[in-house]
Amino acid sequence: MADNHIASLLEQMTLNEKIGQLVQLATPFLKGASDGGQITGPMKNMGIDEESIKDTGSVLGASGAEEIMNIQNTHLAENRLGIPLLFMSDIIHGYKTIFPVPLAIGCSWDMELAEKSAEIAANEAAVSGVHVTFSPMVDLSRDPRWGRVMESTGEDPYLNSEIARAYVRGFQGEDVTRDLGRLAACVKHFAAYGAPEGGRDYNTVDMSERQLREMYLPAYKAALDEGCEMVMTSFNILNGVPATGNKPLMRDLLRDEWGFDGVLISDWGAVKELIPHGVAEDEKEAAQKAITAGVDIEMMTGCYTSHLQGLIEEGAIDEETVDEAVLRILQLKQKLGLFDNPHRGADPALEEQVVLCAEHRSAARELAAKSSVLLKNDRVLPLNPNQKVSLIGPFARDADILGPWSWLGAEEDTVTLEDGLRQYVNPDRLTIAPGCSVESGTEEDMQAAVHAAEEADVIILGLGERSYMSGEAGCRADIRLPDAQLKLIERVKSLGKSVVAVLFNGRPLDLHGVLDEADAVLEAWYPGTEGGSAVADLLFGAVNPSGRLAMSFPYTVGQVPVYYNHFNTGRPKDAPDAQERFVSQYLDIPNEPMLPFGFGLSYTTYEYSNLTLSSDTMTAWDSLHVSVNVTNTGEAAGEEVVQLYIRDVAGEIVRPVNELKDFQKIVLEPGETKTIAFTITEDQLRYHHANLDYTSDPGRFQVSIGPNSQNITTRTFTLTD
């Protein structure tokens, strides 16, 4: 269908039909869904009746080719102009083949694999009838109390942006119109949802525009530069105005400054939430504010359905504002080919073959291994399969390792830690006893675990958080492991055997009681469907750990927010002339996090040498070449993430002590040395000045390279006019 067909469609639409396009309902509301289509209390409250449901524009959370085709067929038979529905779902880190949570994928620093995971998720969802995924979530976060850090890719704007791009490429492919195996992506949550005060979900966000542009906006922009089709608003207020009713954010910045002309959807219920936020007296005002701010689709509340018509009749909004929104939605439907092929990629036969196929499982296994981070290893790992192993801890057998955003992932399809270990260890060399549950334990269970471990050479502890302990509304003020698990570690440690802790969780934890007690610690995050296999591959050395932290692990929660790209202060603790007391420090804990951004161990060692700059000056017209030799000084082949940081020593605005500007993930055989080259250009030295101009300052810069944000070697150069 050409554009003029869309325009003529718009002309034929009644106002009610137009408003219907701006409404998104969950599957049970729709006819043709199993158990769907009955007019229930919540639907009446939303102003939805038999008639208006026929005009609905899009559906949330449907899955399965047959069901989606049914809903679409029923809808097309009843919709006067035959406008197909758009099916949108949260395909966050996999459809049925579940990949590690995004924070873990961030730790892989592997853009090809991140892209591949999104491609596979898209393929599975597309044959199952889905058109749009509410992903990527690119909210930068510095606060591990916030449950949704597991959905983010961490604390760094550059790494977040690179992954945002990889996800969009993976979901949408090169041409989402032609490639029926892909989905339209929706970047979220716009904006700065990852900075709630106190790490409490939905809470206040307040920050300077400079900070917003510097740290929080780049990843959304990167996703849009990569062609992301949609944007979702965030629940939070930003500097006093809820994002969902925030005109400067949506119209001025997103649409006018960035030129985004795709569909903007509210988050679930966020339009109506303008009332409790305190910027709208009632639903009518909420509808007015949201549509004026530029929100095209209202998700799951009925402010638009009930009030847009009245607002137009009163002249409070123009019908053109509604038309514009409708047009964008129709254009997306057209782009996805739905007018010609309303079922798009949905194919029940193909669905059977593609979803959870062996190839997808094997990609999930590879990515889960590459996303895990080895945090400590006192010569215990890798294990020898001839050792007697005792598997203890609440995650020994538990399949709750998919993460909170895996609504279609099934525990029965999941490889647990026990399943994984059985691939390497003979049954007569393996004893298993959980010892406690995730949040509580009894003396009896503890003794059973101690007894099971008595004969073992090595104890593997499967520890962590239940998936409901992170994710949306999954915030915690105490980010240690629950007491029952800390006690369990102490008890098994007293047996005097080697103890390996494997962590399944969704946030950087306070690891007191784990790092100090265990001989080795592997952060597996929520590793997904193939989690147990991937962890076993790492523990037995079939895969050499290569994950690096995308978010700092705090020393204790009292230090939060703690992040590597902080400012220096006027009284830095480590200055050569620092006084003993009057410096920026805590009296009781170090300033540094327990584990810094970029950190991760391997079964081999790497040595960095010969950091060389092509010149000690550069200008805006030429670039600087930086090289470093990296040698694998151990006995195993491995992958290293070579990280390049820059510091602007003196700017008009204070600059962070370091900023990640580039990285390379390289493979090194034992004894091998590679010379790794980077190019620094002037645009990497720019930042937002006091007047928000994005420029660089001539003067001195430091460039540092190393295996993590703390262990770096530094050289200096000067940017001249």
Interface pattern 174-193 for ligand NOJ (x via CB under 6 A): --------------x-----
Alpha helix positions (H), 494-638: 531-539
Site string for ligand NOJ, 444-473 (x = CB under 6 A): ----------------------------x-
Nearer residue to ligand NOJ within complex by CB, 151 or 465: 151
Amino acid identity at 615: S
Residue with tokens 């035959």: 82
For ligand NOJ, which is the closer residue by CB, 267 or 366? 267
Contact track, ligand NOJ, 470-499, x by CB under 6 A? --x---------------------------
Q: Which is nearer to ligand NOJ, 158 or 268 (CB)?
A: 268
| Nearest distance, CB of residue 405 and ligand NOJ, angstroms | 8
Q: Is 73 helix (H, G, I), strand (E, B) or coil?
A: helix
Is residue 197 classed as helix, strand or coil in its secondary structure? helix
Rounded Cα–Cα distance for residues 160 and 32 (Å): 39
Interaction residues for ligand NOJ, span 631-690 (CB under 6 A): none
Query: Could you tell me the two tokens for 568?
Result: 């220096």
Phi, psi angle pair for 269, to nearest 5°: 75, 5
Smallest separation (angstroms) from ligand NOJ to the CB of 127: 21
d(Cα 499, Cα 163) in Å, to the nearest integer? 34
Return d(Cα 29, Cα 27) in angstroms, integer: 5
27-66 residues near ligand NOJ, rule: CB under 6 A:
none
455 within 8 A of 449, measured Cβ to Cβ: no
Amino acid at 266: S
Cβ 355 to ligand NOJ shortest distance, Å:
20
Contact (Cβ atoms closer than 8 angstroms) between residue 184 and residue 132:
yes
Residue closer to ligand NOJ by CB (options 71, 534) is 71
Are 213 and 222 spatial neighbours (Cβ–Cβ below 8 Å)? no
Q: Which of 55, 110, 143, 267 is catalytic?
A: 267
Which residue in the set 268, 424, 563, 599 belongs to the binding site for ligand NOJ (CB under 6 A)? 268
Which neighbouring-strand residues pair with 461? 392, 501
For the CB of residue 267, give the shortest distance to ligand NOJ in the complex, in Å: 5
Distance in Å, CB of 239 to ligand NOJ, minimum: 20
Nearest of 294, 345, 320 to residue 91 by alpha carbon = 345
- Tell me the one-letter amino acid at 513: G
Within 8 A by CB and 6+ apart from 248, the residues are 241
CA end-to-end span of the chain, whole Å?
Answer: 53
Q: Which of 87, 109, 134, 555 binds ligand NOJ (CB under 6 A)?
A: 134
3-state secondary structure (DSSP) of residue 459: strand
Task: Identify which of residues 33 and 392 has a Cβ nearer to ligand NOJ in the complex.
Answer: 33
The nearer residue to ligand NOJ, 70 or 234, going by C-beta atoms, is: 234
Minimum Å gap between C-beta 474 and ligand NOJ is 12
Four-residue CA torsion sign, 419, 420, 424, 429 = negative
CB of 62 to ligand NOJ, least distance (A): 12
Strands 638-648 vs 659-668: parallel, antiparallel or unpaired: antiparallel
Q: Is 131 in the site for ligand NOJ (CB under 6 A)?
A: no
Give SS3 for 441. coil
Q: Rounded CA gap, 398 and 357, in Å?
A: 23
If the CB atoms of residues 106 and 136 are measured against ligand NOJ, the closer one turns out to be 136
Question: How many other C-beta atoms are found inside a 10 Å radius of the C-beta of residue 40?
Answer: 12
User: Which parts of 634-712 are beta strand (E)?
Assistant: 638-648, 659-668, 673-680, 687-688, 694-695, 699-706
Cα–Cα distance for residue pair 344/68, rounded to 1 Å:
11
Is 400 catalytic? The answer is no
Shortest distance, CB of residue 673 to ligand NOJ, whole angstroms?
A: 45
Cα-Cα-Cα-Cα dihedral sign, residues 343, 349, 355, 357: negative
Of 362, 440, 424, nearest to 391 (Cα)? 424
- Taking the least distance from each CB to ligand NOJ, the nearer of 419 and 472 is 472
Residue 267 near ligand NOJ by CB under 6 A: yes
Q: What is the DSSP letter of 98?
A: B
Q: What is the number of helices (H) and of strands (E) in the chain?
A: 21, 26
Exposed/middle/buried for residue 508 (C-beta within 10 Å: 0-12, 13-18, 19+): buried
Applying CB under 6 A, the site for ligand NOJ has a residue count of 6
Min dist. Cβ of residue 60 to ligand NOJ (A): 6
Binding mask 611-630 for ligand NOJ (x = CB under 6 A): --------------------
CA distances from 700 to 615, 647, 678, 697, 706 (A): 13, 9, 19, 9, 20
Among positions 188-217, residues that touch ligand NOJ (CB under 6 A) are: 188
Nearer to ligand NOJ, 303 or 381 (CB): 303
Of 297 and 391, which has the nearer Cβ to ligand NOJ? 297
Question: Running DSSP on this structure, what letter comes out for residue 137?
Answer: B
Q: Does residue 90 bind ligand NOJ (CB under 6 A)?
A: yes
Residue 213 CB, shortest distance to ligand NOJ, in Å, is 23
Task: List the structure tokens of 81.
Answer: 């102009």
> Binding marks (x or -) toward ligand NOJ, 329..368, rule CB under 6 A?
----------------------------------------
Q: Which is nearer to ligand NOJ, 90 or 162 (CB)?
A: 90
Q: Output 90 or 659, the one with its CB closest to ligand NOJ.
A: 90
Q: Which residues pair with 464 in a beta bridge?
A: 504
Residue 195 and residue 201: Cα distance in Å, rounded? 9
Pair of tokens at residue 563: 């992040």
Which helix (H) or strand (E) segment holds residue 176: the answer is none
Q: How far is the CB of 14 from ligand NOJ (least distance, A)?
A: 29
CB of 300 to ligand NOJ, least distance (A): 8
Residues that bind ligand NOJ (CB under 6 A): 90, 134, 188, 267-268, 472
Catalytic residue positions, numbered: 267
